[in-house]
Amino acid sequence: EVQLLESGGGLVQPGGSLRLSCAASGFTFSNYAMNWVRQAPGKGLEWVSGISGSDGSTSYADSVKGRFTISRDNSKNTLSLQMNSLRAEDTAVYYCAKDWSGFFLNWFDTWGQGTLVTVSS
Amino acid sequence: EILLTQSPGTLSLSPGERATLSCRASQSVSSSFLAWYQQKPGQALRLLIYGASTRATGIPDRFSGSGSGTDFTLTISRLEPEDFAVYHCQQYGSSPRTFGQGTKVEVK
């Protein structure tokens, strides 16, 4: 069974940092692009960042570019998101989502249950 | 960036009724690259439809998707108790991939 399990969320002060992780199982992790998608309280979904499965190329939403860094460890089947210079507007549930293929611009066929990040003083 | 607008915001229906959810794009979605997802509290989001009309693996045939260009529809032919949830549309034809704000289907 394909599974994604996020961890690392919590309460952080504005300007602080946090690192999210997503443990993947049930599929050949290195073959697929992976993404982070977030949902602020009471709001819709927002794609945050993605990383390809083939060459590790990355892409970011303008709202997080320069502050967040996505990475993957194919030997450990793990996806990560390093979040720096956090702002109140980054408060959201962050979901790990698997792309249908190794490249971007596909649908997400599997999602994790999410981890909550709260940015507040 | 393509803006997706879902309507209505909330749909109040009874089990057995038909649900029709709309997703309108601010510009044409190339090659009907549109997906629908179901979200329930405490559960992972579930892919329902991709390519505007192709059901994902294991999705019951009471769920159907249609549309092209800028107007897309998700139809649930007869609502089952487990179908009451929030539904999101997403376009993946252009970067960045964007979502609608969601439609909540609630019990009337």
Option in B47, B88, B92 nearest A45 (CB): B88
Q: Which residues contact A76 (CB under 8 A, 6 or more apart)?
A: none
Q: Between B43, B100, B101, which is nearest A113 by CB? A: B43
Q: Do B92 and A107 touch (CB under 8 A)?
A: yes
Least confident of A12-16, A49-53, B16-20: A49-53
Pair type for strands B86-91 and B71-76: unpaired
- Please tell me the distance in Å from B89's CA to the nearest CA on chain A: 10
pLDDT digits (tens, 9 = 90+) for B69-81: 999 999 999 999 9
Strands B19-25 and A78-83 come out as unpaired
Q: What pLDDT was estimated at residue A54?
A: 74
pLDDT digits 0-9 by tens, A84-107: 999 999 999 999 999 998 887 899
CB atoms under 10 Å from CB of B96, counted, come to: 20
Residue A101 confidence (pLDDT) = 86
**Cβ pair B89, B4 in contact under 8 A:** yes
Mutate to test the interface with A, among B53, B59, B92, B97 (most CBs of A within 10 A): B97
Task: Check CB contact under 8 Å for B56 and A61.
Answer: no
